[in-house]
Amino acid sequence: MSMPFADRVLHLAYDPGITPKGGGLPGLSVLKNVVSSINMFGLIAVVGALAVSLGVWAWGHHTGGHQAEANGKKGALVAAGAALGLGAANGIVTFFSALGSQVH
């Protein structure tokens, strides 16, 4: 017994039957390498930002420059947060992708 057309369209709206699949497009390995390289570039930039921020923090502390000290602290926290985000990016995306696949 076939379903009426409206019921089939409604069913498709709820379950299109699409799941992520690797290897479907050419150049997927190249794209993965590019994204991994961007992530590594970001981590290297964060190391530089953290070094500069810690230097500004120490300089501000030893010279009595309260504004420089506060900016150094903020920069160190931002750099640490950026490192956390870059390092956890794959896990965060995997977590939310798995969580999203459970929605019905």
Q: Per-residue pLDDT for 12 more than 60?
A: no
pLDDT at 21: 77
pLDDT by residue (tens digit) across 13-31? 566 667 777 777 788 889 8
**Predicted model pTM:** 0.72
pLDDT by residue (tens digit) across 71-92? 999 999 999 999 999 999 999 9
User: Is 39 in contact with 79 (CB distance < 8 Å)?
Assistant: no
pLDDT at 14: 63
| Length, in residues, of the chain | 104
Q: How far, in Å, CA of 39 to CA of 60, rounded?
A: 31
